[in-house]
């Protein structure tokens, strides 16, 4: 065997990798097929390998069972074909809970059963400039932030001139869509590992409409699109913290129809051996909720929504039995752009409003005139007032049940958020068979005040009569 590198041991949901030497002449990205068949007892998983340049062929695999796995490679290149071996999958290390899955119709859970409640943020192109110092700063910021998911793009925008892109070439004139740039991916992969160490899911945005023909990546053929997707999946699917977001603001891309997106999402599903979470994100033209992508389609795992109105969470839950993630709800900031200038109070309010209705919200920040550029584009430092409130909300929500809407129906927990309303009385309809304790939450000042005593049955509660308050009801 000409295995140049191979892992003999891997942890569950870790990344096993095998490197082989093979041909470098011609265009190996297009000409060489390469993959492997992995087997655990009777369980068989097929995965694609990829060409990593300089005659190196790699295959990655994320095993989901502990014990002995075997593999055998396949290739149209005899040198890479029919190589077999074994490796041992051991239990996951601390902090490794596996990939995130959908659970409870409206919730998420890591594969090991630990609850996952998304508190996402957005840094679309934080890895593209390959600015080590800035990326380290972003990671530091993330480490102390409440965020456990980040939305990030693979492809550059019209305005960018990055040192490397996913495809070969560095500018629209010399871009070669028949080849990829392995160094772009190696850099990205290092950052995916950094995110994984921080417990952050990478919601990878595979396409976006901000190219407008400049690079041409928004108007590629089916063959080019799937060539790109296949390569991305072969490199990145073995990262357990990866999610697939087929496109950002897909409806702004005039080169593709909903049918095209459907086909591409199904292609990703077929090619991803691990069934990572999959969705697609609408643009502002789809603000009317009835025009959102039909998330009931079976290849969609969760609802990835752009809308400014968190109250519609209730409608979206009713329309589709999949988790609601409002990935863009307007960003805190002082930008001149409509999407990037709501106040921290307003963003905090939208988080509470959506969560109290059973959804999740994505954060973003777009402050101009600061030491670092807009967080949503390049990461860096966070300046807003919402972040610490989101951290408070996350701690608050994690103290509660995984399905707080169901728990409210069952009478075991209640979250009542009053938003811009300021009633002095609220009538709770609680079970007669339980005693409940109450807490008043000032969502802006981040205080929790315990009410003396307990209550039961129909109870008229005196509230502080100020806006941005919530009431938590738990069994005493």
Residue with smaller CB distance to its own copies, 422 or 447: 422
Stretch in the footprint of its own copies (CB under 8 A) among 19-27, 42-50, 330-338, 429-437: 330-338
Residues 197, 243: Cα–Cα separation, whole Å:
16
Does 457 help bind its own copies (rule: CB under 8 A)? no
The yes or no reply on residue 226 touching its own copies (CB under 8 A) is no
Which position among 81, 420, 435, 458 is part of the footprint of its own copies (CB under 8 A)?
A: 420
Q: How far is the CB of 248 from its own copies (least distance, A)?
A: 22
- Closest contact distance (angstroms) between CB of 112 and its own copies is 40
Nearest distance in Å: CB 176, its own copies: 39
Pairing type for strands 34-40 and 360-361 reads: unpaired
10 Å CB burial of residue 461 (0-12, 13-18, 19+) is middle
Q: What span, in angstroms and rounded, lies between the C-alpha atoms of 64 and 238?
A: 11
- Specify the residue, 314 or 341, whose C-beta has the smaller distance to its own copies: 341
Under the criterion CB under 8 A, does residue 321 sit at the interface with its own copies? no
Rounded Cα distance, 306 and 285, in Å: 10
Binding test (CB under 8 A) with its own copies, winner from 424, 448, 449, 458: 424
According to DSSP, the β-strands at 43-51 and 34-40 are antiparallel
Record the tokens describing residue 52, joined without a space.
Answer: 């990593």
In this chain, which of 334, 372, 412, 434 binds its own copies, going by CB under 8 A? 334
Q: Determine the interface stretch with its own copies among 126-134, 154-162, 351-359, 414-422 (rule: CB under 8 A).
A: 414-422
- Min dist. Cβ of residue 336 to its own copies (A): 5
Cβ atoms of 451 and 439 within 8 Å: the answer is yes
The count of chain residues that interact with its own copies, using the rule CB under 8 A, is: 24
- In the bound complex, what is the minimum distance in angstroms from residue 423's beta carbon to its own copies? 4
Residue 346 near its own copies by CB under 8 A: yes
DSSP state of 252: G
Question: Dihedral, CA atoms, 301, 387, 349, 209, nearest 10 degrees?
Answer: -50
Rounded Cα–Cα distance for residues 71 and 18 (Å): 10
Q: Positive or negative CA dihedral for 180, 264, 283, 138?
A: negative
Distance in Å, CB of 232 to its own copies, minimum: 36
Q: Using the rule CB under 8 A, which residue among 4, 170, 266, 343 binds its own copies?
A: 343
* Pairing state between β 149-153 and 201-207: parallel
425 binds its own copies per the rule CB under 8 A = yes
- The DSSP call for residue 281 is B
Asked if 422 touches its own copies (CB under 8 A), the answer is yes
- Joined tokens for residue 65: 């069972």
Residue from 81, 338, 395, 458 that binds its own copies (CB under 8 A)?
A: 338
x/- mask, its own copies, residues 73-102, rule CB under 8 A, reads ------------------------------
CB of 341 to its own copies, least distance (A): 4
Rounded to an integer, what distance in angstroms lies between the CA atom of residue 440 and that of residue 426? 12
**What sign does the CA torsion over 221, 227, 229, 230 have?**
positive
Decide if residue 429 touches its own copies (CB under 8 A).
Answer: no
In terms of Cα–Cα distance, which of 145, 144, 141, 137 is closest to 120?
145
- The CA distances from residue 405 to 355, 367, 414, in Å, are 9, 34, 8
Determine the interface stretch with its own copies among 19-27, 143-151, 250-258, 417-425 (rule: CB under 8 A): 417-425
**Residue 216, interface with its own copies (CB under 8 A)?**
no
Which residue among 2, 42, 133, 336 contacts its own copies (CB under 8 A)?
336
Contact residue for its own copies among 53, 156, 209, 333 (CB under 8 A): 333
Which element (helix H / strand E) includes 187? Answer: helix 182-197
427 binds its own copies (CB under 8 A): yes
Q: Which residues bind its own copies (CB under 8 A)?
A: 333-336, 338, 341-343, 345-346, 368-369, 418, 420-427, 465-467
């Amino acid at each position: 065997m000409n295995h140049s590198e191979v892992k003999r041991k891997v942890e569950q949901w870790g990344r096993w990798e095998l490197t082989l030497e093979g041909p470098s002449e011609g265009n190996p990205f297009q000409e060489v097929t390469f993959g492997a068949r992995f087997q655990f007892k009777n369980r068989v998983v097929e995965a694609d390998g990829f060409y990593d340049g300089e005659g190196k062929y790699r295959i990655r695999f994320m095993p989901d069972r502990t014990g002995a796995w075997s593999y055998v490679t396949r290739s149209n290149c005899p040198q890479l074909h029919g190589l077999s071996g074994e490796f041992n999958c051991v239990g996951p290390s601390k902090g490794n809970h596996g990939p995130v899955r959908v659970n409870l119709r409206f919730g998420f859970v890591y594969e090991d059963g630990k609850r996952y409640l998304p508190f996402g943020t957005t840094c679309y192109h934080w890895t593209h400039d390959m600015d080590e110092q800035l990326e380290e700063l972003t990671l530091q910021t993330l480490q102390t932030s409440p965020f456990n998911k980040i939305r990030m793009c693979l492809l550059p925008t019209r305005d960018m001139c990055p040192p490397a892109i996913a495809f070969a070439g560095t500018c629209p004139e010399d871009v070669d869509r028949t080849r990829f740039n392995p160094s772009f991916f190696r850099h990205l992969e290092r950052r995916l590992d950094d995110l994984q160490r921080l417990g952050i899911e990478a919601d990878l945005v595979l396409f976006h409409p901000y190219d407008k023909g400049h690079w041409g990546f928004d108007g590629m053929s089916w063959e080019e699109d799937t060539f790109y997707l296949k390569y991305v999946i072969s490199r990145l699917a073995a990262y357990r913290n990866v999610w697939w977001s087929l496109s950002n603001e897909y409806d702004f891309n005039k080169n593709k129809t909903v049918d095209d997106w459907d086909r591409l999402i199904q292609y990703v599903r077929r090619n991803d051996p691990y069934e990572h979470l999959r969705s697609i994100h609408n643009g502002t033209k789809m603000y009317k909720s009835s025009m959102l992508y039909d998330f009931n389609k079976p290849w969609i795992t969760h609802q990835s929504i752009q809308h400014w109105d968190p109250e519609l969470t209730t409608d979206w839950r009713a329309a589709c039995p999949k988790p609601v993630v409002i990935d863009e709800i307007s960003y805190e900031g002082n930008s001149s752009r409509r999407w990037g200038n709501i106040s921290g109070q307003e963003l905090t309010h939208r988080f509470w409003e959506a969560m109290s209705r059973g959804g999740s919200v994505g954060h973003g920040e777009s402050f101009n005139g600061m030491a670092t550029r807009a967080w949503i584009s390049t990461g860096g430092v966070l300046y807003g007032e919402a972040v610490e409130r989101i951290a408070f909300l996350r701690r608050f929500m994690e103290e509660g049940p995984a399905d707080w809407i169901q728990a409210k129906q069952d009478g075991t927990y209640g979250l009542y958020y009053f938003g811009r309303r300021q009633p002095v009385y609220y009538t709770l309809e609680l079970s007669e068979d339980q005693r409940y304790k109450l807490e008043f939450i000032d969502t802006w000042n981040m205080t929790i005040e315990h009410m003396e005593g307990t209550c039961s049955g129909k109870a008229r509660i005196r509230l502080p009569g100020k806006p941005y308050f919530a009431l938590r009801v738990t069994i005493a």
